Amino acid sequence: MVSINGSTVLVTGGQRGLGKAFVEAALDLGAAKVYATARSPRPSADPRVVPLPLEVTDPRSVAALADQARDVSIVINNAGVTLRRPLISTPIDEIKNHFETNFFGVLRVTQALAPTLAANGGGALINVHSVLSWAAGAGAYGAGKAALWSATNSFRVDLAAQGTQVVGVHLGYTATDLTADLDVVKSDPHEVAREALLAVEIGQTEVLSDDVSRQFKAALSGPVEGLEFALVDGHLMARHPTAGTAV
């Protein structure tokens, strides 16, 4: 368990969307300092927020981040991109570029900052996944999130000896820039961020932040057909009844 109060937090992609919500939630819970990264960071009016440049696909940028954030005790891997195309028809190079951000980017940041977390008492690592880690038919985005879920579970084993708490956060559609053009039911990013941070304080290892995440997590124990999803009146739901009902 790690206290947010008085901590130093780092949020990748921390200047908009869910990342910005994580920054605000951390400050609301008493964080002393929050590093908020972006490719081209903007200044913050809040002296507790330290904007830092980060391109997660560039090893040199990640190394520079690790050098600047030596006091961090909580790392939140939030930065990511979307790719809404069927996996079978997406060019391989496009899929590789997508994985460079959503999977290898998280891996780079985690590898670079794990020694810092160890030096600062263990701390916590929070990775933002998606219900699409489990729901079939989400193309390269879903495949990348599924890979990240597996990696997070391995991080939990790898970092246990140094006392780092590892938390995976799953959510459905959330009201951010990435979903602005989608006519779907969306969660409040501030509620998602607050729930994830409070999970750190009680030692929780996985956060299912909405009903749809709980529905598809439960479906993992059933037939694989239960993992296919559909959008019905803006609700993400299982296409087959084995996974439950719409939420």
In angstroms, what is the C-alpha Rg of the chain?
Answer: 17
This prediction's pTM? 0.90
Return the H-helix or E-strand segment holding 62: helix 59-68
DSSP state of 45: S
Give residue for tokens 């909405």: 210
Predicted local distance difference test score (pLDDT) of residue 72: 98
Predicted local distance difference test score (pLDDT) of residue 232: 46
Predicted local distance difference test score (pLDDT) of residue 231: 53
Q: Which residue pairs, CB below 8 angstroms and at least 24 apart, start in 205-211? A: 205/156, 205/165, 205/166, 205/167, 205/168, 206/167, 206/168, 206/169, 206/170, 207/167, 207/168, 207/169, 207/170, 208/170, 209/169, 209/170, 209/171, 209/172, 210/131, 210/171, 210/172, 210/247, 211/247
Predicted local distance difference test score (pLDDT) of residue 241: 47
Q: Which residues of 43-76 are buried (b: 16+ CB within 10 A; e: fewer)?
A: eeeeeebbbbebbbeeeebbebbbebbeebbbbb
Ordered by where they begin, the domains of the chain are: 8-210 (3.40.50.720)
Predicted local distance difference test score (pLDDT) of residue 181: 62
Q: How far apart are CA 163 and CA 122, in angstroms?
A: 4
Contact assessment for residue 16 and residue 177, using Cβ atoms and an 8 Å cutoff: yes
Along the chain (247 residues), what's the average pLDDT of each consecutive run of 10 residues? Answer: 95 95 98 97 97 98 98 96 86 95 98 98 96 87 95 98 97 68 71 96 94 87 77 54 42
Q: Which two tokens stand for residue 111?
A: 């590898």
Q: How far apart are CA 178 and CA 17, in angstroms?
A: 8
Predicted local distance difference test score (pLDDT) of residue 221: 87
Predicted local distance difference test score (pLDDT) of residue 236: 56
Contact assessment for residue 159 and residue 110, using Cβ atoms and an 8 Å cutoff: no
Predicted local distance difference test score (pLDDT) of residue 238: 64
| Backbone phi and psi for residue 99, each to the nearest 5 degrees, phi listed first | -65, -30
Contact assessment for residue 81 and residue 130, using Cβ atoms and an 8 Å cutoff: no
Give residue for tokens 């916590």: 124
